[in-house]
Structure 1
C-alpha cells in the first residue's frame, strides 16, 4: 500500500531569536494514502479553477491570512467567506492525518543541551517516529512511503536528506531500523513553484497548529477545524499528533 508524507514548516530553525513567537518551530506532516491523495489533489485543483480560472494558483498560508499577493481578491468579504467555506469543506471531507512536532527553541536553549544538533532535523525525527507508529496499524501489508518535503535550498535539502537516510538506516531510541526499513521510504524535495497541493495543505496547517501551541487560550477556528485530523493516542493529541519538545 502506498502512502505519502508531505512536510512543510512554520517558523525557522535559528536558535538566535528576537521575539516570543520566534521561539518555536513547527514541522507539519500530512500523511495520506496515495488513493486519498488523488482526491485531495483533484479537489484542490477544482477549487483553484473555480476561484481564479486555473489550477496554477499556489495556496500560501501567509498571503491567504493577509489577503495579499495572489489572494488580494479575498479583500472582498463575500468572496473571502465563500473561499474559506469551500476550502474548509475540502479540509474536512478528505482523508489524511496530521502529525506536527513543535520545537520550543527558548526552552531548548535554556536547557543548555548541546547534543541535539539541528532543530529542524530533530523535529523531523519526531515526525518520522510518529509516522511509523501510525503505519503500524496497517499490519501484514507491504508499504511504500514517499516523503515529499518543501525545499529550502540545495545545501539544506542535502543535509536533511542525509539525516533522514541516517535515521532510516540506524533507527532512533524509540523506533528500530528494521521498522523504518519496512516502509520502503523514498525522499523528494519540491519548491513552491512546483505547485504540490499536498505541500500546500501542510503549509496551511502548520501555522494554526503553531499558534495553538504558543497561545492555547486564543480563539483558533483553523485549529479547531483541523483537530479531528490530528493524530491521537488514547484520544489525545499531546505527544502524538502534536509533540512539543522540550516539555
Structure 2
C-alpha cells in the first residue's frame, strides 16, 4: 500500500491575480509505502525532534515550514543560533536524501486559467486534483501496487477537494480512464488529517511542497527568488531521484506538471 501525502502551496482564491503571491497554486504529493513510512520515516523524524528539541513524547509537535522559518515555539533556536540551525539543516537534509519516496507536483497559473473562457470548470482544484490523481494512478500501475491519498486538512476546503477527487475517480481523465484509477485507488474518500495528528508523511510533504513549487516555477521560466535552502531541496528532488520519472528518466510530465 502506497500513500500519497498531499500539501497545498498558494491559495485557491481567484482575486488579486495580478500579484505574484496570489497567482500560482500547486498541490504536491509525496508517495511513501505505508509500512516503510512507519518503520523508517517516523523514527527518523522522531529522532530529530528528540535529539535537537528534546520533544516531550506526550506533547508532540509537527515540523511545519512556516513555524520553522518564523522561529515559532520550539523552533526559536533556529533563528538565534547559527550552529544549531546548521545542525538542524543537516539532519533534515539527511531525511530528504535518505528516505525512499517519490514527489509529484501539479501547478497552475490561475491568471491564465481564468482566461480560458471555453473551460466549463472554473476552480483550480479541478485541474490540480485531476493531474495529481492521474499521475499517482500511473505511478501505482508502474509500481504494481494500490494506494490512497492523505491531504492536510484545510477544513472548509476539504469538501471541495473531496468532491474533485470523487469526480476524477468516477470520470477518469483524458489519459487514464476511471476503471484504471479505481483499480489502484480503491477507496472513494480522501484521508484528511491535521497538523495535530503529527503525521510524519505530511510533515515531510509540508517541508518539500514550497521548494518543489518554486522549482517548477523556475522550470516555467519565471524569475523566482529561491533561497539557498529551497534551491538545495530542489536539487535533491531532481538529482537524487525523488521526483517521479519515466523509465527513460523524464521528470516533466511525471514528477511535475504545470498549466500552462
> Is the Cα contact below 8 Å between 2:7 and 2:205 reproduced in 1?
yes
Question: In the alignment, what sits opposite 2:245?
Answer: 232
Q: CA deviation at 1:168?
A: 1.3
Higher deviation after alignment, 76-85 or 102-111: 102-111
SS at structure 1 position matched to 2:254: coil
Question: In the alignment, what sits opposite 1:182?
Answer: 183
Which among 61, 64, 67 is matched to residue 65 of structure 2?
61
| 1:66-81 alignment runs, 5 A limit | 66-75=70-79, 76-81=81-86
Instruction: Count how many residue pairs are aligned between Structure 1 and Structure 2.
Output: 241
Q: C-alpha root-mean-square deviation of aligned residues, in Å? A: 1.9
| 1:190-201 alignment runs, 5 A limit | 190-201=193-204
Q: CA deviation at 1:196?
A: 1.0
Give the TM-score, by structure 1 length.
Answer: 0.90
Which among 57, 82, 86 is matched to residue 87 of structure 2?
82
- Distance change >3 Å, CA 78–CA 169, structure 1 → 2: same
Give the TM-score, by structure 2 length.
Answer: 0.86
> Is the Cα contact below 8 Å between 1:21 and 1:214 reproduced in 2?
no
- Distance change >3 Å, CA 182–CA 231, structure 1 → 2: same
- Greater relative contact order: 1 or 2 (C-alpha under 8 angstroms, separation 6 or more)? 1
| 1:26-37 alignment runs, 5 A limit | 26-37=26-37
2:243 is the alignment partner of 1:241: no
> Is the Cα contact below 8 Å between 1:36 and 1:94 reproduced in 2?
no
> Is the Cα contact below 8 Å between 1:103 and 1:245 reproduced in 2?
yes
Q: CA deviation at 1:95?
A: 0.7
Q: CA deviation at 1:69?
A: 4.0
In structure 1, distance between residues paired with 2:89 and 2:165: 35
- Distance change >3 Å, CA 43–CA 15, structure 1 → 2: same
Note the alpha carbon deviations across 1:158-179, whole angstroms, 9 max, x for none: 2322221222122122111111
Which among 96, 101, 122 is matched to residue 96 of structure 1?
101
